[in-house]
Structure 1
């Protein structure tokens, strides 16, 4: 570097990031007015150009001797040196948040309704052309939704039966009516808790898996590849999962009812001294066949809704890995919400037709 008496800074060679520290110290050591002569500079990078531009901007230095290539880079750096306007976030009141929630709810409902129609069309296409039915995929989903869920659903229902029996007995003992604990266990597990708790477990276990699997396929563009080769993603991905959920949910619900009754029976035997034979006879007397039919009718509908919501949220995943987690969570929340709403609708419906 050459420094003269008239405050000229003339770097030579390469003005790059490797020399930015020493170069900056040399510039700071020179008083104003300052002239920067770049005629001897052979190579310059963005960091060197920024240092020169900043000196010209802050100290009013004069720039001479820059070649055309160096001048272009300096112009680009100067063009990029503009303050960004930071827009403060809009403050949304309670009414605005409620409005946004209502709009989002409406959009989700419309989208889910459209996806429901597309799924029905997919089933119609498979029924009209049975060769397009993917038997292997359905069997795999039977294993995922049904077989692998037997253990956790059985354990959960067994414990629920014990809890219902214990809590019911505590209250009924005040009136000397412990024997009616059997009525409570039988009717509430067969009619309500069996299918409902099974649906919640399947929603958290299989509904989330459906959303994550399809969402990952969306990110890796496998869904787009299916469309490119003429394969319908609804028929290949959605129909097998929905069909498997519809078929396996009644079986899982019946398994949940059975294990809950067994759990309640063990409590009645050990806690209340009711013999198992008496428990079984009393259960057959107090639980009508209509309760079993109510639980088994609910189960496939719950399975359909869970699979539909999981696949729908999976299809909404965009090209962002974060979306997989968000849509998986949304699938579980949406499934459980719809299951509880449908359970309330079923309760009103069956009461209206006399299946109390």
Structure 2
């Protein structure tokens, strides 16, 4: 008997009998499928006695033909019966009825409620993640030999040293913009000299550390989420647990500690580059010598402005690292999830940093540090 699939039609009063022969497998049924679709006569039965081999595609073809014509499938062997029953069970669970959409006056509250519930679950998840970090940190403190110094230094290089170029350029340009815009407004009152105060206090107290946190969130926070998310997707994290390595100690803590340690240093560096940018523009447009601008910074900027920036640094670093690592650890199913979680990590970090910066501004004003 040939393995090439074919069919014959046996006429009968109640409808023709379709007799299938050959191998009903995916590599052979393509031409047969086109011929079967062209059958115009009514069918009563589909006879599989002559089928030598059948796979899921062949069984699906028989099920589709039976569903479309109402013909009964007969003389199927055990393999064909199991495949056909499985496919029919799937078809029985599928409904073509359209899902009725809720009216607008119900859909909007429903979506808002889902968002609120999602925020609640997310908050609980973040708190649980922070608890895991605290426990892992305590375990490493009790057992200093488990501290991964090389991983920590490597992450400090990635987060801090490799970011010096982009953060320095960004801060330098921001300093120029602040000095230029401030000078334009202060010139109306003959107070261009106070451009020094404006640049010094803004960069050291606010913009230096804030712009640095935003840049690190976009650069390193997204990298944390993508790296850990990809490892989750490829089951490397599960493999680490299997061999007795804690993912929190090996993946999360080095990134968190590195970001917390490097953020204050990057903030100070960004503030200095902003001041240099302001001094550069002041010498070009205001006639204030570069050295005089730098020297005046020491007299017009209070020391507590520097401390405000230094206090914000570790907090912002913790937020950025937490957002990136948490979102990376939430990746579950596919590569698209990695992209979504990476985006969520950046948005979450930047939003939280700005909210905390506003809180710090009010707090330090209340304690007379503003």
Q: TM-score, normalised by structure 1?
A: 0.87
Which of the numbers 230, 236, 255 marks the counterpart of 1:216? 230
Distance 1:49 1:239, change over 3 A: closer
Which of the numbers 210, 221, 235 marks the counterpart of 1:196? 210
Count of residue pairs brought into register by the alignment: 352
Aligned equivalents of 1:241, 1:354: Cα separation in 2: 34
Moved more, 318-327 or 133-142: 318-327
Deviation of residue 208 (structure 1)?
0.8
Distance 1:99 1:275, change over 3 A: same
Deviation of residue 98 (structure 1)?
2.2
| Within-5 A mapping of 1:224-263 | 224-263=238-277
Q: Is the contact between residue 171 and residue 274 of structure 2 (CA under 8 Å) also seen in structure 1? A: yes
Which of the numbers 99, 107, 118 marks the counterpart of 1:88? 99
Structure 1 counterpart of 2:119: 105
Aligned equivalents of 2:47, 2:267: Cα separation in 1: 84
Q: Is the contact between residue 165 and residue 185 of structure 1 (CA under 8 Å) also seen in structure 2? A: yes
Structure 2 counterpart of 1:270: 284
Deviation of residue 320 (structure 1)?
1.9
Select the structure with the greater relative contact order (CA < 8 A; seq sep ≥ 6).
Answer: 1
Match of 2:22, SS state, is strand
Distance 1:33 1:323, change over 3 A: closer
| Within-5 A mapping of 1:1-356 | 11=19, 13-14=21-22, 16=24, 17=29, 18-22=31-35, 25=38, 27-28=39-40, 66=75, 68=77, 72=81, 82=92, 84-85=94-95, 86-88=97-99, 90-91=101-102, 93-356=107-370
Match of 2:261, SS state, is helix
Deviation of residue 229 (structure 1)?
2.0
In the alignment, structure 1 segments of 5+ residues that lack a partner are none
1:223-251 Cα shifts (integer Å, max 9, x gaps): 11222222221111111111111111111
Distance 1:108 1:80, change over 3 A: closer
Q: Is the contact between residue 13 and residue 43 of structure 1 (CA under 8 Å) also seen in structure 2? A: no
Distance 1:169 1:236, change over 3 A: same
In the alignment, structure 2 segments of 5+ residues that lack a partner are 1-6
Aligned equivalents of 2:290, 2:88: Cα separation in 1: 88
1:178-228 Cα shifts (integer Å, max 9, x gaps): 111111001011100001000000011111111111111111112112222
Q: Is the contact between residue 20 and residue 48 of structure 1 (CA under 8 Å) also seen in structure 2? A: no
Moved more, 225-234 or 9-18: 9-18
Deviation of residue 13 (structure 1)?
3.9
Q: Is the contact between residue 119 and residue 239 of structure 1 (CA under 8 Å) also seen in structure 2? A: yes
Deviation of residue 84 (structure 1)?
2.9
Distance 1:273 1:124, change over 3 A: same
Deviation of residue 87 (structure 1)?
4.9
Distance 1:102 1:167, change over 3 A: same
- What's the RMSD between the two structures over aligned residues? 2.9
Aligned equivalents of 2:43, 2:224: Cα separation in 1: 70
Aligned equivalents of 1:139, 1:103: Cα separation in 2: 39
Distance 1:67 1:251, change over 3 A: closer
Q: TM-score, normalised by structure 2?
A: 0.84
Q: Is the contact between residue 207 and residue 310 of structure 1 (CA under 8 Å) also seen in structure 2? A: yes
Q: Is the contact between residue 264 and residue 314 of structure 2 (CA under 8 Å) also seen in structure 1? A: yes
Match of 1:330, SS state, is helix
